[in-house]
Structure 1
Amino acid sequence: MKGTRTAIIYGVLVALALGLGLAVNQSLPPPLVPSVDNPGPMGVRALYLYLEESGARVSALREALEGSGLPDSLRTVVVTAPSGRPVTEEEAGALRSWVSRGGTLVYLVSREAKARQPQLDSWLGISDGPMLAPDSEGLPPREKDFTGTTVRVWVPVGPLRNVERLRVSLDRGITVGRPEAVPLAGAKGAAVVWRVPEGRGEVYVLAGTDLAENRRLELLDNLRFWDALAARGPLAFDEYHHGVPPKPEPPSARGLWVFVAQGLLVGLIYAVSRGTRFGPPRPLVVEKHRSALEYVRSLGWLARRSKVERELVPELARQLRRHMHERLGIPLTLPEDEAARLLEHSCGLPAADYLAAREDLVRTMEQREIRPSDYTRLARQYARFENLITGR
């Protein structure tokens, strides 16, 4: 009898929970709009936050691209395959005039025919190109991207100056019909990035939103393209044309029904908690944990016993060169004196300090026994260099 009552109570609770979930309708499908507010795989939220955390002046345009929607202080405007609202003829004219005055427009063309923007496509003469061939060049051994392919930069100009390979979707390229347009990147005759000069400015036309999507942002050199654009000055993403009409408010009867259901659920929980218990209360078990100081002392003792392995010392230099390559674009194969000169030019670290630390590391490696104090001194020097390179 007691088991039957328990089963009935749990059944009522599950039914109420399911009813509330259906009424509120919180389980929405993942968004597919390439918006800065979309944290899903096909959104550009990660790119927006990355640029913001990197110190770039980035913003979102939530007004029409005409009148006050395009301030002269902007340097770059990114239009990411808008599909919620069409770009009007007046907006296309305002964009063209703004680019002619020295602005940079990055237009990510949608690969879906229904989501195309006729005004922008006719201005730039955009049409579909040939299919890209599958290619996994440059991907790490364990990185899997079955729906993507690798394209190479043909003409390293503008934001593609220090870019070699890009990771994009395995789909069609694009063709720009303007006679002055130049294809900058692609694979085997299929172009995915074009440059179109317009007055004192320029337009970069990209096939799809692949370079900005959250799922491929960190692959190959995709981030370098956006870093170069952000370095030019204030950058803004067009969010106005992703907008959709607001959903109608739910009727008041639904809200009243949800309120009544919540009241019944709270009353049922109160009745169960104040009723007969399922068993005698158990004594509270007091758990005693070790203090944090004990863990610190144990780690210190372990570090003293293990001493310093010789392989840790050259790893400091290798890790710093990797940071210099990833953050500043300094090649790993460059000699130390050239790398020191470029490091001083990029972040203000004197080349003499870098070379002195390198000589100290070499002298330490030549010692018969490396003491913990020697490794601590080197680690402190290289940590300071890393903080300067990463901006911390």
Structure 2
Amino acid sequence: MSEQLLSMRGRFSAILQQGRVWTTPLAIAALFALMILVALATTPPPEPVPYDLDATHADGLLALRLWLEALGYDVRRNDGLRFTIPGEAQLLFVYPNQLAYTAEEAERLRRWVEAGGTLALIGPGPDDRALVEAFGVALNPELRYERRMAQLLPLLPEGRPVYESDWFSPIQTLDLSEAPQATPVLALLAASEETASIDDLKVVVAVQALGEGVVWHFAPGVDFTNRNLREFAQGELAPALLRTTPEGSVVVFDSYHLFGFSRVGERIATLQDWLYRTPTGWATLFGLVITGVFWALSGRRLGPPLASAEEMRRREAAEYVRAMANLYRRAQRRDALSQHHAHRLKVALARRFGVRADLPDEEFLEALASASPPLSEAQLGAVREMLRKFSGRLNERELVELAGDVDALLESI
């Protein structure tokens, strides 16, 4: 009956132990699932991102992209990990950015234009000081509310003399004071104005020749978005922009600076995009990192931590003697331990001095005395005394102390 109780208790303990092993991973998995549900419930719907090439909302650029592709142009994004301009690019659109240009990137862009490229620069934004210094054109800080945009020079023969702008959206104008070579193309006019003097121009479009290339400067309200192309006929301005871009050539949109490192607004097409660019994906990565750290700290990832060979401390002979003494004490066999340590002493000395370890004690001592180099008298006397003691009867304490003396002697020789 008692054996059955012990067996049942053992099974119950095993079940409890197995339950403890699985409780922690299950708790982590439940916490992880809860985090995902909370992230899904609290994630707000994405807001429309302006200047997204795939967006159909008012501030998107889907209509411009499809129109360029219908004309036979190869439309691309430079959305790699670093800012690059494809060598075959003929036209580059740069919109107000989340990630500002560096001085080196702005200088590279200017050199590309001087080599014959066409740049459509909308803005630049207030943080893009590098672009302002590279091309000399900035945005005036004040907002204007004039609704009419008049053509100043016959650079747009396909366009109409006057264009309407959005009545409800104030617009910024271009500051051309640092770019005297820039030519105004479109300017704002009040409803009562038919013309305006050069000093009073509120320019929204200008063209600038640099080397072999051209820079078209556009205020943010003249940016070819879906609404502006549909409601305000800004598509009539594009033929002049495409005069220097051969049919079928490469047109690039600067997505690297437009969306920044977060790449917000781009189409989510892969699992990596979902992990990197959505709050739910961030929560998933966070949960995986926390779980991995927990398992690593608890030793579950690669099993329990093991000490390397260098970190393992070798046992001393005294520890071995204590362990073996307990066994031989129960078996009343102390003489075996004495013989073991006497033999250990003789083997160690025989290896060092080139004598036989199986000789009787007296012959072994004579061989040691005639070895070259010989032992000192004190060392030889210590060996003789140890062998004498090992041949007698020793208690446990004497055996432990004598084993320690053997180690000390061997280290001193």
**Structure number, greater radius of gyration:** 2
Tell me the TM-score normalised to structure 2 length: 0.46
Tell me the TM-score normalised to structure 1 length: 0.49
